[in-house]
Amino acid sequence: MSGKRVAGLLAAVGVLAGCAGAPVDTRPVVRIAEAAQPSKAIPLGRLLPSAQELSATLGTGPNGFMGQLVEGDDEMLLRSVGDAAAATPVDCVSTAYRLQKVVYDSGSVRSVASNSWAGGGFDGSPVSGFFGVVQMASAADAQKFFATIADKWRRCNGQTVALHHSGQGADELSRVVDVAFDRQVVSASVLHASGGTAAVGVSRALGVAGDCIVDVEITDPRAAGARQPAIGVAELILGKISQRR
């Protein structure tokens, strides 16, 4: 083979190699989306109702008195039920007893605010209430917590909860009835009775808005046969959350 022919073949090979270029990486590219950031703990007291709002919602007149606002982290939750072993059936504790730490320990609690109220005319039946807001780590966490608790309330309808007190305290029985629920609020009537004391009926409601759970208990002797008064208070607080969060 002549020198000119060899040179021509080498030139052709060089051109082909240049056209081929670097190999192309056809593997799929994995992109990791930024995870949703948990809610920052915020003061929740401004989301609770005033004495005037409660009086208007419950129709008790202007004579109402607020208790002391309590705010903080999950240590502000109540411990009336010391642990899950103290009550049976345990899944009904959230229905019978308000704002219990043993209940909210299953959620991602960021902050808590609660207060109490007493109202009613001097010549009428006394009405009282306890209400709280619990902020979860996210709206998704709050919705998940609410769905779980609402299902427990549904299954507790007609159940009697036994709370066993340590020491000399008498055991308490709580009958759960009239459980009803919709997309945002679940409600129930609870009749508490313990040895040596008269039975007390309360209205209970639990609601969800954004990353917050609303927990309400109302004692209202006028409420027999009427709409659960705790529902109205829960809806009042849920409205505040929707407007201000």
- CATH number at 187 reads 3.40.1000.70
* pTM greater than the 0.95 cutoff: no
Per the structure, the count of domains in the chain is: 1
**What residues does 174 pair with on adjacent strands?**
161, 192
Q: Which of 131, 150, 169, 166 is nearest to 50 (CA)?
A: 131
Give the phi and the psi of residue 170 in degrees, each rounded to 5.
-75, 145
Q: Is residue 5 part of a domain?
A: no
**Which of 105, 110, 132, 145 is CA-nearest to residue 39?**
110
Residue 58 within a domain: yes
Buried b (16+ CB within 10 A) or exposed e, 43-81: ebeebbbebebbbbbbebeeebeeeeebbeeeebbbebb
The partner residues of 218 in beta bridges, in order of sequence, read 129, 203
20's CB contacts (< 8 A; 6+ apart) are none
Q: What percent of the chain has pLDDT over 70?
A: 79
39 within some domain: no
Is 78 a domain residue? Answer: yes
Low-confidence ranges of the chain (pLDDT < 50): 1-22, 28-30, 32-34
Residues 76-135 have pLDDT tens digits of 999 989 876 689 999 999 999 999 999 999 999 999 999 999 998 666 778 999 999 999
DSSP H or E run through 53? helix 51-58
Q: Is residue 137 part of a domain?
A: yes
Tell whether 233 is covered by a domain.
yes
In 3D space, the residue among 232, 228, 226 whose CA is nearest the CA of residue 56 turns out to be: 232
Is 31 part of any domain?
A: no
Residue 77 placed within a domain: yes
Domain region containing 188: 45-244
**Maximum CA extent, the chain:** 125
